[in-house]
Amino acid sequence: MLPRHHDPIVAIATAPGRGAVGIVRVSGRGLEALAQALCGKPLPPRQACYLPFRDADGRPIDHGLAIWFPAPHSYTGEEVLELQAHGGPVVLQLLLARCLAAAAETDPASGRARLPGLRLAQPGEFTERAFLNGKIDLAQAEAIADLIDASTEAAARSATRSLSGEFSREIGILRDALIHLRMLVEATLDFPEEEIDFLQRADAQGQLQRLQAQLTQVLRKTRQGALLREGIRVVIAGQPNAGKSSLLNALAGAELAIVTPIAGTTRDVVQQAIQIDGVPLHVIDTAGLREGPGIDEVERIGIQRAWSQIEAADAVLFLHDLTRLGQPEYAAADAEIAATLAARLPARVPVIDVWNKADVADSADSGPGTGTAGEGLRLSAKTGAGLQALRQRLLALAGWQGADSGLYIARERHVQALRRVETHLQLAAAHLDAQAQALDLLAEELRLAQNALNEITGAFGADDLLGVIFSSFCIGK
């Protein structure tokens, strides 16, 4: 541990602003003297005591509940003192200041400071200590933040499963199988004249194949869990007056963007988070894409921002206007946008052609399938016809395979780590096929695969990785 991990810490553990209840949390070693100064009496373990919280002169700051958790039976694994008061910002700041002052005061019984070195906690430091003290692993720690930040019911339930350790248990099963195979392979390196027969008798190849099959299942669920957490960025692009803002409003179910028949109404980026079957989608409306005279400086900046959003998208909805289908100038501008999209977007980013204004199109057979329109989805942002098909197409492109009762929340770093495991196991299989000529390389690939698995739960990890993860937490958590 770093030296700062031994300091006692204190913070307001509830969200900023007014509330019915607010919590000030202290974690460290030897909190009894501080608790005595604040509460006026010793506290029994793990019992809520209603009493006044006193200032330096013995006057009550507030009345509330005090709970003392002896180590190691606490959230952080250290001694923890929680003061539950009324949730006014001033009251909580007074309690926080009193904790810091009382810690520095001399305790009459011992003649020393009550809690030397007490300082304000950094973001995520309480949870970081829970991880460092073995109360939770790294995946569970991340699940706490994901549960707080969950934007959908499915994401919240999946985060709860990760917090309970379901994801970690699956990673543990993979790691145990990998360790068993590593021990088998490395043991044979000491007996080169018998290693091939030994590996064949122990069914090393079968073990590796089963391990790869298990990994495939875990990776599938992890991708789905990451999708629940991260969602996808969907950008609506197209010429002015194609109905981009109307489509955003229809998908969001609210009037978020201004809609007028005037070209260039949308000048800036408008973004809204929605959910489809529990999957968060970040839908972005952009300025109409066009060139030529009549574009003022503000609209030009809006168009530049639109292309910036398009280039950062996970999927692009290229919106076409059915009422202008067949007009040469409109078709030429659409073709130019399509060519630019093909040139500027990575191949992995799908572009969905969406044909809008089906409710006012001249004929029922105009649009997709009439030659130049090509394939796409036909809808009306005004009436809502065709919106459900668009939603399902977006989910399919994102790789969503439907709700799974056993799904757990995951992060992109978990997906990347499992992909590295997959790569190392593929190389290990190739070395195993080569038999005696490459068993040392086989052992190395299995070691690297185990290291990648360990990164997920924090069985080992660099301090900078921990810093990035816990700094994203709120203060007091």
Binding residues: 25, 82, 135, 241-246, 260-266, 285-288, 356-359, 477
Question: Residue positions in the annotated binding site for K(+)?
Answer: 241, 260, 262, 265
Between CA 269 and CA 346 the distance in angstroms is: 21
Q: Can you say which residues are annotated as belonging to the binding site for (6S)-5-formyl-5,6,7,8-tetrahydrofolate? A: 25, 82, 135, 477
Q: Which residues contact 193 (CB under 8 A, 6 or more apart)?
A: none
351-356 vs 279-285, strand pairing mode: unpaired
* Whole-angstrom distance, CA of residue 197 vs CA of residue 211: 21
Exposure on the CB side of residue 409, measured as CA atoms within 13 A: 32
Neighbour-count burial of 217, counting CB atoms closer than 10 A to its CB (0-12 exposed, 13-18 middle, 19+ buried)? exposed
Compute CA distances 414 → 72, 268, 417, 420, 450, whole Å: 29, 35, 5, 10, 14
Task: Point out the annotated binding site for GTP.
Answer: 241-246, 260-266, 285-288, 356-359
**Angle at CA of residue 125, ends 119 and 129, nearest 5°:** 110
Closest CA to 210 of 447, 448, 429, 476: 429
CA distance 203 to 189: 16
| Tokens, residue 160 | 């709860």
The DSSP bridge partners found for residue 25 are 11, 82
Q: Which amino acid is at 316?
A: V
CA dihedral 207, 213, 216, 222 (to 10 degrees): -70
- Measure the CA–CA gap between 404 and 26, rounded to whole angstroms: 39
Q: Which residues fall in the annotated binding site for Mg(2+)?
A: 245, 266
Residue at 265: amino acid letter:
T
**82 by DSSP, 3-state: which?**
strand
Cα 11 from Cα 255, distance rounded (Å)? 40
At residue 469, the 3 state secondary structure works out as helix
For residue 67, how many C-alpha atoms fall within 13 Å in the half-sphere facing its CB?
14
Q: Are strands 279-285 and 270-276 parallel, antiparallel or unpaired?
A: antiparallel
Cβ contact 128:470 at 8 Å? yes
